């Protein structure tokens, strides 16, 4: 399980309402098991696995105005259950301490038990790799046009290129060109990389 701390860094006039709407939309998906509003500009989500966590973070990066902290806790040798949600939430908040810029993603893996100590050694490298994978995705998303965002959103929902083209009102060839310009294949590669990096947390001891 992972915690995702989202901190709004945009300039919406009614930011409290806006942030709550984003949190509630994500909380309604299968990728989130629990959601808590922490402040008018921040919320935390619990996500059960690497794939779901990648889904949530990708959605936040598409919004573009959030700094994101991902928290994980190493499994306790004496406990095969999920980490304490409060510990996960605190780890995600501490992950944000070093970078609160909009579009930034940081990750922190902590040792089990009280104190919130960062897990040493290889866990630090894994946390850095998680952040790096999402940094590449964020850079790609920031360069997309509105048409590219529309095309990739349809593909992400599971439509075929032909179906997506019909919905947008363009030819299949034009849709293929739009997806290429939007870096759709690069996004898929980045998605896979992020999932694999997050899944590595479960192998750490």
Extended strands (E) in 74-187: 105-110
Query: What are the pLDDT tens digits along the chain (205 aa)?
Result: 999 999 999 888 888 899 999 999 999 999 999 999 998 999 999 999 999 999 999 999 988 899 999 999 998 766 556 778 999 999 999 999 878 888 899 999 999 988 889 999 999 999 999 999 999 999 998 888 999 989 998 998 889 999 999 999 999 999 999 999 999 999 999 999 999 999 999 888 7
| pLDDT mean across residues, the chain | 91
Instruction: Indicate the SS3 state at residue 1.
Output: coil
Q: Give the position of tokens 């989130």.
A: 32
pTM of the model: 0.90
In order of start, what are the domains of the chain with their CATH numbers?
2-127 (3.30.70.270)
* Dist. CA 70–CA 90, nearest whole Å: 10
Q: What is the reported pLDDT for 80?
A: 57
Q: What is the reported pLDDT for 18?
A: 92
Percentage, residues of the chain above pLDDT 70: 97
Q: What is the reported pLDDT for 186?
A: 92
Instruction: Indicate the SS3 state at residue 56.
Output: helix
**Torsion angle, CA of 51/59/45/38, rounded to 10 degrees?**
160
* Dist. CA 30–CA 56, nearest whole Å: 10
């Amino acid at each position: 399980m992972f915690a995702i701390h989202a901190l709004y860094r945009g300039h919406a006039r009614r930011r409290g309402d806006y942030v709550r709407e984003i949190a509630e939309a994500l909380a309604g998906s299968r990728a989130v098991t629990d959601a808590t509003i922490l402040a008018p500009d921040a919320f935390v989500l619990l996500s059960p696995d690497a794939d779901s966590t990648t889904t949530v973070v990708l959605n936040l990066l598409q919004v573009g105005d959030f700094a994101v902290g991902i928290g994980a806790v190493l499994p306790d040798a004496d406990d095969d259950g999920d980490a304490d949600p409060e510990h996960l939430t605190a780890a995600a908040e501490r992950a944000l301490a070093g970078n609160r810029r909009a579009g930034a993603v940081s990750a922190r893996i902590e040792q089990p038990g009280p104190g919130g100590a960062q897990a040493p050694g290889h866990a630090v490298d894994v946390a850095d790799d998680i952040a790096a994978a999402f940094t590449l995705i964020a850079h790609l998303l920031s360069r997309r046009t509105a048409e590219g965002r529309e095309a990739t959103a349809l593909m992400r929902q599971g439509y075929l290129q032909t179906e997506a083209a019909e919905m947008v009102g363009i030819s299949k060839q034009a849709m293929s060109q739009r997806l290429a310009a939007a870096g759709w294949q690069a996004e898929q590669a980045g998605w896979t990389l992020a999932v694999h990096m997050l899944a590595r947390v479960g192998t750490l001891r």
